[in-house]
A = this chain, B = another copy of it.
Amino acid sequence: MTFVGFTGAGLDRADNLRLDPDRIAGLMASGDARLLGLDGTDPLLDAEGGLIWSGLADERADLLFLGLDEGTPLFAPLVRMQQLGQRAWSIFRLLALMSPKDAAIWGAVRSLNEWHNRHLFCGICGTATEPYRAGWGRRCPGCGAEHFPRVDPVVIMLAEYEGRVLLARQPQYPAGRYSALAGFVEPGESIEEAVARELMEEAGVVVGDVRYVASQPWPFPGSLMMACLASAESDAIRLDTNELEDAIWVDRDGIAAALAGRADAPFQAPPPYAIAHTLLARWMESKE
């Protein structure tokens, strides 16, 4: 299997414990529990690039229960964030040092913290909400509504036409970087319809068949990325210049060069923990 970033945490999320505050308190006080070290919401890493876990010997209300790692209960801080939806590019340097498992665990913590900070008040009645379910929900003391951490589905896709795939660049990308087109799934559409709509809106490309390839959670701030391939009916491009700076069709040799990081590649590939990288790798593995 091709590597898929931010997957493979391998924890037993033990959701049955979330609704049992006494058992969560017991785990915290047991001496077995471990607490994730964070700098704001960024990971603290040891000399080998590993997450840092400290002991936890007392009950605390402001923690998130991540689950059991081969029986060891893992917790992380709930952090009040000053800026939402922001990330420094430096986080990608840290991710490059981390194991897939550590990146997946930290990604869940990052995403959950952002969710909590975006749901401090009830959207239905405006009352301040309170965390519960060991960090896996917030409830409203005003109207009684329960709010649960969810993620926003995003489609990310390669249109294919006669042995080439469509890549594009956004103005804020690093120099030379091109990636797959992407967009949020809206109410009232399937994944397949969202793929077709986004390719039409952003590049004027009409597609027929859409095939799902892989998915990943993306913690900036909290998306579910769903990677697809789509068969284009022509290679004509009509660029939405509000969204994209450029779009190009690239053949297999060009994709191979970019994935290998070669200097003669026609573009700079997205980093390995981005599912666009996985999608390009899977397309290369597929038969001609």
Residues of A within 8 A of B (CB): 4, 6-7, 9, 13, 15-16, 84, 104-105, 107-109, 111-112, 115, 117-128, 136, 145, 148-153, 184-193, 197, 201, 212, 214-217, 219, 222, 224, 226, 240
Contact of A126 among B16, B120, B148 (CB under 8 A): B120
Closest residue on chain B to residue A149 by CB atoms: B187
Residues of B within 8 A of A192 (CB): 7, 214-215
| A188 and B224 contacting across the interface, CB-CB below 8 Å | no
Contact of A217 among B118, B151, B189, B212 (CB under 8 A): B189
| A123 and B121 contacting across the interface, CB-CB below 8 Å | yes
Closest residue on chain B to residue A213 by CB atoms: B212
- 29 A-B Cβ contacts within 8 A? A7-B190, A7-B192, A9-B188, A13-B186, A16-B240, A84-B124, A104-B188, A109-B188, A111-B187, A112-B187, A112-B188, A115-B187, A120-B123, A120-B124, A120-B126, A121-B126, A126-B126, A126-B127, A149-B186, A150-B152, A150-B153, A150-B184, A150-B185, A150-B186, A150-B187, A153-B224, A187-B217, A190-B214, A191-B215
Contact of A148 among B6, B84, B184 (CB under 8 A): B184
- What is the minimal beta-carbon distance from A165 to any residue of chain B, in angstroms? 20
| B190 and A4 contacting across the interface, CB-CB below 8 Å | yes
| B118 and A124 contacting across the interface, CB-CB below 8 Å | yes
Q: How far is the CA of A93 from the CA of B147 in the complex (A)?
A: 30
Q: How far is the CA of A226 from the CA of B111 in the complex (A)?
A: 21
Residues of B within 8 A of A127 (CB): 126
| B6 and A188 contacting across the interface, CB-CB below 8 Å | yes
Residues of B within 8 A of A119 (CB): 123
| B197 and A13 contacting across the interface, CB-CB below 8 Å | yes
- What is the minimal beta-carbon distance from A125 to any residue of chain B, in angstroms? 7
Q: How far is the CA of A190 from the CA of B109 in the complex (A)?
A: 15
| A151 and B190 contacting across the interface, CB-CB below 8 Å | no
| B124 and A123 contacting across the interface, CB-CB below 8 Å | no
| B125 and A121 contacting across the interface, CB-CB below 8 Å | yes
Closest residue on chain B to residue A192 by CB atoms: B215
Residues of B within 8 A of A186 (CB): 13, 108, 136, 149-151
Closest residue on chain B to residue A123 by CB atoms: B119
| A191 and B122 contacting across the interface, CB-CB below 8 Å | no
Residues of B within 8 A of A125 (CB): 120-121
Having A15-B201, A126-B128, one finds 11 other A-B pairs with CB under 8 Å, namely A4-B190, A7-B192, A9-B193, A13-B186, A13-B197, A16-B201, A84-B145, A112-B187, A121-B126, A150-B186, A151-B187
- What is the minimal beta-carbon distance from A172 to any residue of chain B, in angstroms? 18
| B111 and A188 contacting across the interface, CB-CB below 8 Å | yes
Q: How far is the CA of A191 from the CA of B190 in the complex (A)?
A: 15
- What is the minimal beta-carbon distance from A77 to any residue of chain B, in angstroms? 15
